[in-house]
Amino acid sequence: MAEVKLDQVEKVYPGGFCAIKEMYLEIHDGELMVLVGPSGCGKSTML
């Protein structure tokens, strides 16, 4: 069985820009997850 769990993930770029702060994500076995949002909102950074 597979599971993805992210707990308190943060991404801070050089210069101090915080792109992601305290992100939580849990995907259980057999579940699908879709990440949607406008351009520039941080989808690729989260991945």
pLDDT digits (tens, 9 = 90+) for 6-30: 999 999 999 999 988 999 999 999 9
What is the model's pLDDT at position 42? 84
pLDDT at 43 over 80: yes
Can you tell me the distance from the alpha carbon of 19 to that of 47, in angstroms, rounded to the nearest whole number?
12
Q: For residue 33, what are the domain limits?
A: 4-46
What is the model's pLDDT at position 1? 76
Can you tell me the distance from the alpha carbon of 23 to that of 37, in angstroms, rounded to the nearest whole number?
16
Retrieve residue 45's tokens.
């950074």
Give the containing element (helix H, strand E) for 10.
strand 4-12
| Domains contained in the chain, number | 1
What is the model's pLDDT at position 24? 94
Rounded (5°) CA angle 39-13-43? 25
What is the model's pLDDT at position 3? 93
Structural contact between residues 23 and 43, judged by C-beta atoms closer than 8 angstroms? no
With cut-offs at 50, 70 and 90, classify the pLDDT of residue 41: confident
